[in-house]
C-alpha cells in the first residue's frame, strides 16, 4: 500500500466518553511532540493517528485525566487501531508499522 493513510498508526477510540477521548488525545500529543498527529472526529469514534510510530504512556494519560488510569482499562474504549499495537510493560502502549525490508 502506498497511499498516506496506509502509513498511519494509532488508535480508533469510541466516542462514548468524551473525557477519555480528550485525555487520550492530550496524552498522545504530549508523548509524541515531534509527530504530526491526524485527529479525525467521526461523532461515534475518533481516530488519533501519526505516521509510522505512536506512543502513549500511563504517566501522561494519568496527568491528562487527573486520575489513575491503568492502560489495560482502555481496551473497551479502543474500538480498533491502525498498525500493530503492543504493551511495553504496564506503563507504555505503542503503535507501529512492521519493518519494511
- Does the pLDDT value for residue 34 go beyond 80? yes
pTM of the model: 0.86
Per the structure, the complete domain to which residue 12 belongs is given by 4-96
Note whether residue 20 is domain-resident. yes
Q: Determine, yes or no, domain membership for 101.
A: no
Confidence of residue 28 (pLDDT cuts 50, 70, 90): very high
Q: Residue 81: what pLDDT?
A: 94
The domain total for the chain is 1
Which residues are CB-neighbours of 3 under 8 A, at least 6 positions away?
A: none
State the pLDDT confidence band at 76, using cuts at 50, 70 and 90: confident
DSSP 31-77: H-TTS--EEEE-SSEEEEEEESEEEEEHHHHHHHHTS---GGGGTTT
Residue 99 class from Cβ within 10 Å (0-12 exposed, 13-18 middle, 19+ buried)?
exposed
Look up the CATH number of the domain holding residue 86.
Answer: 3.90.56.10
Amino acid at each position: 500500500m502506498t497511499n498516506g493513510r496506509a502509513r498511519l498508526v494509532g488508535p480508533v477510540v469510541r466516542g462514548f466518553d468524551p473525557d477519555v477521548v480528550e485525555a487520550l488525545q492530550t496524552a498522545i500529543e504530549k508523548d509524541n511532540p515531534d509527530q504530526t498527529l491526524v485527529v479525525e472526529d467521526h461523532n461515534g469514534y475518533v481516530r488519533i493517528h501519526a505516521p509510522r510510530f505512536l506512543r502513549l504512556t500511563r504517566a501522561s494519560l494519568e496527568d491528562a485525566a487527573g486520575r489513575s488510569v491503568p492502560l489495560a482499562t482502555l481496551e473497551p474504549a479502543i474500538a480498533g487501531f491502525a498498525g500493530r499495537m503492543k504493551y511495553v510493560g504496564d506503563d507504555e502502549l505503542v503503535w507501529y508499522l512492521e519493518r519494511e525490508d
